Amino acid sequence: MQNLALLLAADAEETNPLLPAIYDIVWSIIPFALVLLLFWRVVLPRLQKTLDERSKAIEGGILKAESAQEEANKSLEKYNLLLAEARAEALAIKEQARLEGSQILQEIKTAAQNEAERLTAGAHAQIELERDQAIQSLRREVGEVAIDMASAVLQERLSDDQQAAAVVKNLLSELESSDEPQGAKRRKKPAAGKKTS
């Protein structure tokens, strides 16, 4: 055994422990070549296919994002356009409402003016009617007073100037009191008759 150990030790001195033996290199190249071939033919195409699919998906996502961005921009433009139209329409409605309000106000003023004129005309007509009634009443009363005065004059004997002056005074005082109510005049008439008789 010692011999074997010496042989191995001598053999070991001739070979480099870091370099493998030739048969190890040959037997290592064959599986490496098979694994490399398998990797090259099977794994690498699948990996490339997966990477291509991912790349297409990313590019598709980018395209979708760009189209979505374009749609968003178009929608924003439409929104801004609709907002501007709505503002313009609101301003038009506001202006129309202001015009209608001023028109209604003018109509109300015109109606109030017409009503005032109607009331004024009615009041003038009423005043005219009352004036006519007052004139007729005054004419009646003046006629009655004239009749009363004429009867008083006819009943009175005018023999002297003093009596004539008294009768004229009574007639004048009755004319002046014609502004008083009729009941007051009638109360005064008997008193005047008593004085004259």
Answer yes or no: is 189 within a domain.
no
Answer yes or no: is 122 within a domain.
yes
Cα Rg, the chain, nearest whole Å: 69
Residue numbers of the domain that contains 116? 9-155
CA 27 distance to own-chain centroid = 95
Summarize pLDDT for 84-107 with one digit per residue, the tens.
Answer: 999 999 999 999 999 999 999 999
Answer yes or no: is 183 within a domain.
no
More confident residue, 40 or 143: 40
DSSP 179: G
Answer yes or no: is 117 within a domain.
yes
Answer yes or no: is 160 within a domain.
no
Answer yes or no: is 103 within a domain.
yes
Please give the Cα distance from 45 to 39 (Å, whole number). 9
CA 5 distance to own-chain centroid = 114
| Tally of domains within the chain | 1
Answer yes or no: are the C-beta atoms of 193 and 175 closer than 8 Å: no
Answer yes or no: is 196 within a domain.
no
Answer yes or no: is 96 within a domain.
yes
DSSP 20: P
Q: Is the pLDDT of residue 190 over 60?
A: no
Summarize pLDDT for 6-65 with one digit per residue, the tens.
Answer: 666 555 556 666 777 788 888 889 999 999 999 999 999 999 999 999 999 999 889 999
Task: Count CB neighbours of 180 within 10 A.
Answer: 12
